[in-house]
Amino acid sequence: MSAHKRPISPLYVMLAFGYAFLYAPIVLLVFYSFNESRLVTVWAGFSTKWYGELFRNEQILNAAWLSLRIAVVNATFATILGTLAGFVIARYKRFPTRTAFLGLMSAPLVMPEVVMGLSLLLLFVALETAIGWPAGRGAVTVTIAHITFCLAFVAVIVQAKLASFDRSLEEAAMDLGARPWKVFCVITLPLIAPALAAGWLLSFTLSFDDLIVTSFTSGPGASTLPMVIYSSVRLGVSPQINALATIMISVVALFVAVSGWLLYRQDKAKRA
């Protein structure tokens, strides 16, 4: 019989298996990015040469820079629009066409990406023939497309935050004579700031990572990082992409570790 009071239940074995399944491929990818050999599966010694090649690869660097710019602009606009939308959903329980508004805000969350990509491209082409704008497709059309699906995610996050929100502070400010717009800026906005930050980050990630909608709405000369990764990966496994993946994973891991540590400290300070 086991010496433990409680034997390890099969449930925890399943849990461990689940996490192993989620993380093993990522760990392997990182591991093999330091492989000397071009063949991903043969270990030929430690090397950082693929990182060197990656940093000399203009195409990838340009694409990363473009993706970064699109992601920042997208996240900012999506956060502004999504916050307005989340605010309306949480605070205005009856106004004409509210049902349509709710439908519009939630449909992008579940719409298959191929559908959104194709339909946006058709819109851009139709607009171009009708009014001459947008002239061709590129970073602008990609950004518009990204804002369209990201703003709905921000709206959900902001609305959830507002639903669990103590309104007495707002009421106090109103009683003291603050105008609604001022109440929103001085009281509401700072209180929901964590939701805005989460929405911004989520929008950034969704945009930086998007392949399908981007491929439909982008044009010649505007290849984003996922598009370059995709066209290289289609031809098979590439050590440079392993190195790139490792960098991307490290940035996310670092970010999560830092924000986790900050939250932990904040939590501790609150309790003290």
Site for other proteins in 115-174 (CB under 8 A): 115-116, 118-120, 122-123, 125-126, 129, 144-145, 147-148, 151-152, 155, 160, 163-164, 174
241 contacts other proteins (rule: CB under 8 A): yes
Contact status: 271 vs other proteins (CB under 8 A):
no
Q: Nearer Cβ to other proteins, position 22 or 272?
A: 22
Q: How many CB atoms lie within 10 A of CB 55?
A: 12
Q: Could you please report the per-residue DSSP string of 27-86?
A: HHHHHHTTBSSSSTTS---B--HHHHHHHH-HHHHHHHHHHHHHHHHHHHHHHHHHHHHH
Q: Count CA atoms closer than 13 A to 258's CA, side-chain side.
A: 6
- Residue 47 touches other proteins, criterion: CB under 8 A: no
CB of 23 to other proteins, least distance (A): 7
Identity of the residue, 185 or 193, whose beta carbon is nearer to other proteins in the bound complex: 185
Q: Which stretch binds other proteins (CB under 8 A): 45-53, 54-62, 113-121, 186-194?
A: 113-121
Contacts of 67 (CB under 8 A, 6+ apart): 207, 208, 224, 225, 226
The stretch among 34-42, 49-57, 132-140, 190-198 that binds other proteins (CB under 8 A) is: 34-42
Q: Where are the alpha helices (DSSP H) in 92-224?
A: 98-110, 113-131, 139-163, 168-175, 180-183, 189-191, 193-209, 212-217
Q: Which of residues 203-232 bind other proteins (CB under 8 A)?
A: 205, 208-209, 211-212, 216, 226, 229-230
25 binds other proteins (CB under 8 A): yes
* Residue 130 beta carbon to other proteins: minimum distance, rounded to whole angstroms: 10
Residue 43 binds to other proteins (criterion: CB under 8 A): no
CA 10, 13, 17, 18 dihedral sign is: positive
Instruction: Please select the residue that binds other proteins; options are 92, 172, 190, 265, rule is CB under 8 A.
Output: 92
How far is 269 from 264, CA to CA, in rounded Å? 9
Q: Angle 248-225-24 (CA atoms, 0-180°, nearest 5)? A: 35
Distance CA 1, CA 21 (A): 30
Instruction: Identify which of residues 30 and 62 has a Cβ nearer to other proteins in the complex.
Output: 30
* Choice between 2 and 99, CB closer to other proteins: 99
User: For other proteins, how many residues bind (rule: CB under 8 A)?
Assistant: 87
